[in-house]
Amino acid sequence: MAGHSTHEKYHEPIEWEGSLTIGELLARQLFGTDGIRGVAGEPPLDHHTAHALGYALGSWACQHRPSAAETPEVVIGMDTRESGPWLAEQVAGGLARAGVNARFAGIITTPGVAYLTRTGSYVAGVMISASHNPYYDNGLKVISHSGYKLPDATELELEKLMADWLGTGQPAEPRPLEADPALDNLYTDYLAGTVSGAFPLRIVVDCANGSAARVAPHLFKRLGCEVDWLGTLPDGRNINLNCGSLHLEHVQKRVLETRADLGIAFDGDADRALFVAGSGRIVDGDAVLFLAGNSLKRKGRLNGNVVVATVMSNLGLEKALESEGIQMLRTPVGDKYVLEEMIRRGAVLGGEQSGHVIFSEYATTGDGILTSLRVLEIIRDSESSLDDLADRIKTFPQKLVNVRVKHKRPLAELESVQAEIQAAEDEFAGSGRVVVRFSGTEPLARVMIEAGSQEQVDKWTGRIAEAIRAELGSAN
């Protein structure tokens, strides 16, 4: 694969039942790609809107319950942000207004809520989290009984129901909640059941002062690991603050100081994990995809010998998988697109450089703790260090340049840009990649180059960026 440009079609999007037209998608005001996000206490994450979501979800649940005699239930979980409890109580209050019960898991991971939702008798789940964002942000993510995010058409339906209730001017009355520890234990027991035997390893684990701080210690205690814990003292405001997967330097330092076998870092809601090998080198999601893909193939469990990644995954991953007889499929950036392609192809493994890795045999979403178990299992069973395993991937030099533009035009119409892209691909001759795309939210063109040398990377990012500036102007 010599290169890509943004007008290349990677795959057709899945047509979910009840898919929306473009006009309907644009009509949505609240739901983004990962639920409703914003600053806690301000629209759309104020008390009334959270209550409205609960009411809308409850009304929808009553319409779709299997039996009119059954009272629907929704499970609610949250990360460690200080706004989580009142948001949960407002969602629960809205559910109660619609005649729906709420079960509260308390502090739990996003994949934990997805697991409880799909294995329990719940019509839906709500996770209150803003993932890797600062504490003052938060979000409301609704998960269907299948364990996947709601279809777009259902989100639009919820928005209409929310608007109807908000228009009544009724007060947002919270419903007090008490966490049920049995729910958290169900998820921890499930994770523990995906592995067997002991793990005599010395590891450093950074829980980002987030959801993993509640779940991971109970789990790792069962594994027989010697663990040095970081980021396990959440105070409502220190989630992701100079810790976790966004700040691997702390794990690196502790791994080197203690001579640990490896380090693991989660983000705020623990749906992703990144690793640090004993030498201090960072092992990202690409490396995990290679290790896991190779392991599954040897066990005869890699369906179709296919791994799904995104356009941002390093060419080194593609080459390493190819050498093992594994095909790598690329999608646009976003775990949503990775999951869609996995479903389409029946793939059991997919993910992103950022550490979102989906093992569909075990979960319907990226799960950082599950990923860490798979990596520990591979290290133990291979009797190799993480450094030795990661050495099997040659990472190509990569550079991303953002070019601010005055306006956007289809890339195919930019002759000088296309000429530079073609020249780069000709020079790379299959040993490099060009990805040029526009940002969906900002006046930016993004130029990503991978090549065999840093000199080539610098040369072609500069030339293509300059061609874009000449064609589209530079917005300062």
Would you call 441 helix, strand, or coil by DSSP?
Answer: coil
- DSSP secondary structure letter of residue 474: B
* Residues, the chain: 476
Take residue 242 and report the two structure tokens written for it.
């100079």
372 is catalytic: no
Number of Cβ atoms within 10 Å of the Cβ of 230: 23
Are 161 and 55 spatial neighbours (Cβ–Cβ below 8 Å)?
A: yes
Are 407 and 472 spatial neighbours (Cβ–Cβ below 8 Å)?
A: yes
Tokens 């989580």 correspond to 84
CA distance 116 to 180: 12
Closest C-alpha to 106, from 229, 234, 221, 17: 234
Closest C-alpha to 265, from 205, 353, 222: 205
Strand order in the sheet with 273-277: 226-230, 202-206, 262-266, 273-277, 282-283
Sign of torsion over alpha carbons 297, 326, 449, 475 = negative
CA distance 390 to 378: 12
| Contact residues for 403 (Cβ-Cβ < 8 A; gap 6+) | 444, 445, 446, 447, 465, 468, 469, 474
Take residue 451 and report the two structure tokens written for it.
């090549």
The stretches of 74-223 forming alpha helices (DSSP H) are 84-97, 110-119, 152-166, 181-192, 212-223
Give me the torsion for CA of 149, 155, 158, 164, rounded to 10°: 150
User: Which of the residues 131, 211, 245, 313 is marked catalytic?
Assistant: 131
Tokens 């069973």 correspond to 381
Give me the torsion for CA of 447, 321, 34, 214, rounded to 10°: -120
Would you call 229 helix, strand, or coil by DSSP?
Answer: strand
| Contact residues for 416 (Cβ-Cβ < 8 A; gap 6+) | 467, 470, 471
Sign of torsion over alpha carbons 372, 375, 332, 247 = positive
Please give the distance of CA 447 from its chain centroid, rounded to a whole number.
23
| Contact residues for 232 (Cβ-Cβ < 8 A; gap 6+) | 207, 209, 213, 217
Residues with a catalytic annotation lie at 131
